[in-house]
Amino acid sequence: MNLKIWISAFRLRTLPLALSSILMGTFLAAANGSFKTSILILSMLTTVFLQVLSNLANDYGDSVHGADHKGRVGPARAVQSGVITAAAMKKAIYLFIGLSLVAGVGLIWLAFRDNLTLFFTFLGLGILAIIAAITYTAGKKPYGYAGLGDISVLIFFGFVGVAGSYFLHTQSIYPALFLPALSCGLFATGVLNINNIRDIQSDKKAGKLSIPVRIGREKAVFYHWTLLFVGFSAGIIYTILDYQSLFQLLFLITLPLFLINARAVRKFEDPQQIDPYLKQLAISTLQFVVTFGAGQLIR
């Protein structure tokens, strides 16, 4: 087994984005006086396993359905390029399903062992997350090919990730929490949108009806600006509603990063030029979360 090939297939550049929602929920829980290190560690571990599972299933699914082909621009996919066989990728998918379940069950047992109703509720959410990770591009009717990936990302990288991780620490919820959750979800959707803008031509050939394929590049760029604008605005609105100190505005220093991303997506039409901005937006989202969270803690 070539470890470098598998690490490449894991797509580690997506992990900052996956961890952002967990950290946002944890920062907000800590700011409200409730933080458990064990919950954070297991939450991050579960999220990493789920993200790797999603990436492997995406590699396998796009290869099977034809979205990954020789004419596609972007990072090489393991199954399509032949460096990992479809059978080996299937085994890896099953492995990460198991790892996600073990870590997830351990997490929710630690948080809710005295409340079986909450335990089984979160177990159900975890199983849904696994199913969503697999069926985005794999299976007989992958929802990503119907253009529903954006909704899934908004839900799981935003509302479930932030509100869920907050609830694991506090076993409570409050309405304004869904504003920073919206920020994380929309920024994550922005990363997916860049990916889909980059792959418009190859996705058309494969019959993958992503939002950019459906509406065209020009409208997809406007959609991207809207995602980033609304996401950042949600963070500002939350801060206004909960304003106590100038420190809470610390996250505003990340605004230029999102403007750079939005301008690049509008400017560059060559898929190879657009590709680096997936990673740039993922890291920008993590920086937004860290500065937003830090501002909440030192307010």
User: Which tens digits make up the pLDDT trace of 247-288?
Assistant: 999 999 999 999 999 999 999 989 999 999 999 999 999 999
DSSP conformational letter for 244:
-
DSSP conformational letter for 27:
H
User: Which tens digits make up the pLDDT trace of 172-223?
Assistant: 999 999 999 999 999 999 999 999 999 998 888 878 889 999 999 999 999 9
- Give the global pTM: 0.92
How would residue 2 be classed by pLDDT, with cut points 50, 70 and 90? confident
CA angle 99, 101, 107 (to 5 degrees): 105
> What pLDDT sits at residue 205?
83
Res 66 pLDDT > 60: no
* Burial readout 128-149 (b: 16 or more C-beta within 10 A, e: otherwise): ebbebbbbbbbeeebebbebbb
DSSP conformational letter for 173:
-
**Residue 277 corresponds to which tokens in the numbers above?**
């901005």
Q: What letter represents residue 287's amino acid?
A: Q
Q: What gap in Å lies between CA 299 and CA 297, rounded to an integer?
A: 6
Write the DSSP string, 64-106. Answer: HHTSS-TT--SSPPHHHHTSS-HHHHHHHHHHHHHHHHHHHHH
